[in-house]
């Protein structure tokens, strides 16, 4: 099923109440741990509960819980193995502590990037296992086993009990960003010349939605093989949204004189189509439309031609006015303003078209169609 397909009522309910659902799932995971402790009472079982809280508290999505659980499990195993080896083979207290400090310092040096949490866990696991170097490895092994059991419980509860999918959150944030951008463009076009409307709140909300999308990338990779294959595309899609937001920030700064009104109305007619296309795209991403809307074929060339015609008509109107005044004061500023505004709308069109193309690639990938069909889909 496509990531842009309409969500089921159950999935929609979970997403709308994800905070309550997440709290319930954390409680159930801890209940499972408490029940295991009540039945078998393994030593140091508190570490299992600590692990569940650390993994699930800040990561409600399934993919995030899997990612963090695996990193914690790998870090725990590596750190525990090194710590047990030190305790079992080295008798000198200072030599053990020297090797411990060396290992933790080396981990600190190489810790970076996606797997930084695994490095962190391995570092403090070594310290926990070695402790005061009393050569009792049973405590270290029990702690390791309990941490691993906590990882397993966290993964199972995240996967099978009211799963909260990062895919739905990502789609919601993408919809929110596109919808805000479409609304900013539409409001700007409806406003009078030289308006002082403030779009900062909406554009900041759109940017926040883009940043949230970026935070979900790792979780998306664990939840969807299709999105994992197109992880570079997800990053590009976020960057193109940022470009659109940047262009929209320039719109309120544009100003023109009353005599330029006709030319700007022609250009704004083109821009209003872009707002419509963005709104259609937001509806598709939200699951309100079954098929990806199509842009006019050769949109970029068509807009370039129409904008050039609007500029040409503006030049004709300007030539019928007072030539002396135009030569001294008006011609150059107006021409620059019109050309700059036309360039801005033209760049918006290119950005919207690029956004469509990336979303089309993702949709076609989910439908298991060849990537070559993207052009055909756009033309249809």
- The string of pLDDT tens digits covering residues 6-42 is 888 998 999 999 999 999 999 999 999 999 999 999 9
* Amino acid 299: pLDDT: 65
DSSP 195-261: -----HHHHHHHHHHHHHHHHTHHHHHHH-HHHHHTHHHHHHHHHHHHHHHHHHHHGGG----GGGH
* Amino acid 316: pLDDT: 55
- The string of pLDDT tens digits covering residues 334-371 is 343 456 777 888 889 889 999 999 999 999 998 875 54
Reduced to 3 states (helix: H, G, I; strand: E, B; else coil), residue 49 is helix
Residue 320 CB burial class (10 angstroms; 0-12, 13-18, ≥19) = exposed
For residues 189 and 271, the answer to whether their CB atoms sit within 8 Å is: yes
- Give the span between the Cα atoms of 159 and 63, in whole angstroms: 9
Higher pLDDT, 103 or 336: 103
Q: Where are the domains of the chain?
A: 18-160, 166-320+333-368
- Is the domain covering 166-320+333-368 a CATH 1.20.58 domain? yes
- Give the span between the Cα atoms of 81 and 143, in whole angstroms: 12
- Give the span between the Cα atoms of 77 and 79, in whole angstroms: 6
Global confidence as pTM: 0.80
- The string of pLDDT tens digits covering residues 160-186 is 999 999 999 999 999 999 999 999 999
* Amino acid 322: pLDDT: 43
The answer to whether residue 259 scores a pLDDT higher than 70 is no
Provide the strand spans (E) within 255-345.
none
């Amino acid at each position: 099923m496509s990531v842009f397909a309409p969500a089921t009522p159950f999935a929609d309910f979970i997403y709308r109440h994800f905070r309550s659902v997440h709290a319930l799932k954390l409680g159930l995971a801890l209940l499972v741990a408490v029940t295991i402790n009540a039945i078998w009472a393994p030593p140091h079982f508190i570490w299992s509960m600590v692990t569940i809280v650390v993994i699930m508290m800040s990561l409600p999505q399934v993919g995030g819980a899997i990612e963090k659980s695996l990193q914690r499990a790998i870090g725990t195993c590596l750190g525990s193995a090194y710590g047990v080896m030190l305790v079992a083979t080295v008798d000198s207290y200072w030599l053990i502590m020297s090797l411990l400090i060396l290992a933790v310092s080396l981990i600190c040096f190489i810790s970076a990037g996606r797997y930084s949490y695994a490095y962190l866990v391995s570092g403090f696991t070594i310290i926990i296992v070695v402790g005061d170097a009393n050569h009792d490895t049973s405590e270290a092994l029990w702690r390791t086993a309990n941490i691993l059991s906590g990882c397993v419980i966290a993964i199972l509860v995240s996967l099978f009990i009211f799963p909260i999918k990062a895919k739905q959150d990502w789609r919601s944030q993408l919809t929110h960003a596109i919808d805000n951008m479409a609304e900013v463009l539409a409001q700007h076009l409806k406003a009078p010349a030289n308006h002082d409307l403030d779009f900062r709140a909406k554009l900041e909300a759109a940017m926040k939605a883009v940043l949230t999308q970026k935070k979900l990338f790792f979780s998306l990779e664990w939840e969807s093989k299709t999105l994992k294959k197109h992880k570079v595309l997800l990053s590009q899609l976020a960057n193109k949204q940022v470009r659109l937001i940047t262009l929209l920030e320039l719109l309120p700064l544009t100003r023109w004189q009353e005599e330029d009104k006709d030319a700007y109305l022609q250009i704004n007619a083109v821009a209003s189509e872009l707002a419509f296309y963005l709104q259609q795209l937001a509806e598709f991403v939200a699951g309100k439309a079954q098929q990806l809307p199509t842009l006019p074929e050769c949109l970029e060339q068509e807009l370039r031609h129409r904008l050039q015609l609007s500029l040409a008509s503006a030049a004709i109107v300007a030539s019928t006015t007072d030539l002396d005044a135009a030569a001294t004061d008006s011609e150059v500023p107006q021409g620059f303003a019109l050309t700059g505004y036309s360039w801005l709308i033209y760049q918006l069109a290119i950005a919207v078209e690029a956004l469509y193309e990336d979303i089309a690639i993702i949709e076609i990938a989910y439908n298991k169609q060849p990537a070559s069909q993207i052009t055909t889909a756009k033309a249809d």
